[in-house]
Structure 1
Amino acid sequence: MTAALVLNPATVQELVDSLDAEFAVQLMDAFLKDSPHLLEDIRQGLRHDDAELVRRAAHTLKSNSLTFGLEQLAPRCQDLEHLAAGGGLGDAESLARSVEACYAPARQAVQAARADLSQGRPSP
């Protein structure tokens, strides 16, 4: 996956336009710091059959992903959130693997957009 397919540059530009580049960079920093913990919460929730922990972590990761237009990651998080909201984790392992597979390219795309914004270049 390339960054263009992973992160919607129009969404990032809307974020910059509605806030400013400096604040958008701060939000990106928060995403980069917090998202690994959310993935770990999903893993922990699956290990301990804690659907509520999985639901909350997937919901937060989805919301954060939508902020940056992470178009591959957000819908997978939403699917996992909806499954866990039903109280069961039947297919959650495969959905969690899908979330994990989309996360690395999403993280790289956010890092690239962050670098561009912090150096005064337009978003990708």
Structure 2
Amino acid sequence: MDAWGHGDFLCRNYILNGLSDTLYNVYSLATTARALWESLEKKYKTEDAGLKKFIVGKFLDFKMVDSKTVMNQVQEFQMILHDLHAEGMKLSESFQVAAMIEKLPPLWKDFKNYLKHKRKEMGLEDLMSD
């Protein structure tokens, strides 16, 4: 077996190893790693737009509640922002700060108003340290 054939064999089996049993049975028929990769990409890349819509929905629906700690909810919100960035959807830092302020829980209303009326523009780090 030549080097290319050995590399292709390893790569193909590495990809197959990451699949569930049912998907393995479907995709194990691919003869090369490239054919396998292209087949998977064709099937699952089209669902990318659906994933983006789902993440945007999570972002828009996210609301902080008084029953959980604010820091845990901020981390949850930051994970949603990270998912947006990972999908290629960039938001300016000032928009992220404004969105986070808007999503503060109801009992934080006074602090929320205080932050909204600050004249100096804040970054995410400024918001976390206030």
Q: TM-score, normalised by structure 1?
A: 0.33
Higher Cα Rg, which structure: 2
Higher relative contact order (CA 8 A, sep 6+): 1
Q: TM-score, normalised by structure 2?
A: 0.32
The structure where helix makes up a greater share of residues is 1
